[in-house]
């Protein structure tokens, strides 16, 4: 049987850089954030607080650069939501992946992310990340709240920020699991280091084409 698989260059250097740095920052924020809440004692409260704030500001700066990069390179188009093939992808991950079916939406340079990924990443970038930034800022400047009469808001803001952290942790766990669902366990992880990914077939796919 003829093998039509090929390698395509999907992820640029900056894309790979911000992916890994952002992942490291998120994991550090989760670890130090839970320590601040008393879940464990690894660094000590003061050190955990300092590291957490440093990573939070670093993530904010990186986030601005990512948004700017997407705007000037038109990479934002990769995240335009679509319902084409969405239910095929959901069915694949719920059933087809366990029976050896081919992915219904192979990657191309025009479409790095399948419809389910687009909706997920768009939700993370447009809602969850800003949510964590806003609640984090409010939490950071809580000492100024008494002058504004916001004394009552500390616990609700802390709770909301923690809920956001659990949501981010859940996404991280699912994301890491999904990286193992390629042709080999480490295929997707390798591509995020090299930029090159092996894909099925050589032609474009009908779901990408707007009619």
- Domain boundaries, given as residue ranges, for the chain: 6-202
Mean pLDDT of 107-127: 91
- Spatial distance between the Cα atoms of 154 and 152, rounded to a whole number of angstroms: 6
What average pLDDT does the structure give for the chain? 87
Q: Which class in CATH covers the domain with range 6-202?
A: mainly alpha
CB 86 within 8 A of CB 115: yes
Average pLDDT of span 110-115: 90
Q: Return the pLDDT at 209.
A: 53
Token code pair at residue 48? 């955990």
Radius of gyration of the chain (CA): 20
Instruction: Specify the pLDDT at position 6.
Output: 77
Distance CA 70, CA 161 (A): 27
CA distance 198 to 9: 9
The mean pLDDT value for 106-113 works out to: 87
Q: Which residues lie across from 111 on neighbouring strands?
A: 108
Whether the per-residue pLDDT at 175 is higher than 90: the answer is yes
Averaged pLDDT, 45-56: 95
**Helix/strand/coil for 154:** helix
């Amino acid at each position: 049987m003829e093998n039509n698989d090929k390698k395509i260059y999907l992820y640029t250097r900056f894309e790979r850089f911000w992916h890994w740095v952002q992942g490291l920052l998120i994991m550090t924020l989760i670890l130090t954030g839970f320590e601040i809440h008393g879940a464990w004692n690894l660094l000590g409260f003061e050190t955990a607080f300092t590291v957490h704030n440093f990573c939070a500001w670093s993530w904010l700066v990186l986030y601005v650069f990512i948004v700017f990069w997407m705007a000037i390179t038109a990479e934002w188009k990769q995240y335009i939501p679509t319902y084409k093939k969405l239910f095929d992808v959901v069915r694949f991950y719920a059933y087809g992946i366990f029976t050896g079916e081919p992915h219904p939406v192979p990657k191309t340079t025009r479409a790095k992310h399948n419809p389910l990924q687009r909706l997920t990443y768009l939700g993370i970038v447009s809602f969850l990340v800003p949510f964590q930034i806003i609640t984090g800022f409010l939490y950071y400047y809580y000492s100024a709240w008494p002058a504004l009469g916001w004394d009552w808001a500390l616990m609700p803001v802390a709770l909301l920020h923690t809920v956001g952290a659990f949501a981010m942790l859940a996404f991280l766990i699912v994301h890491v699991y999904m990286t193992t669902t390629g042709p080999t366990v480490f295929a997707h992880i390798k591509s995020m280091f090299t930029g090159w990914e092996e894909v099925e077939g050589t032609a474009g796919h009908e779901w990408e084409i707007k009619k």
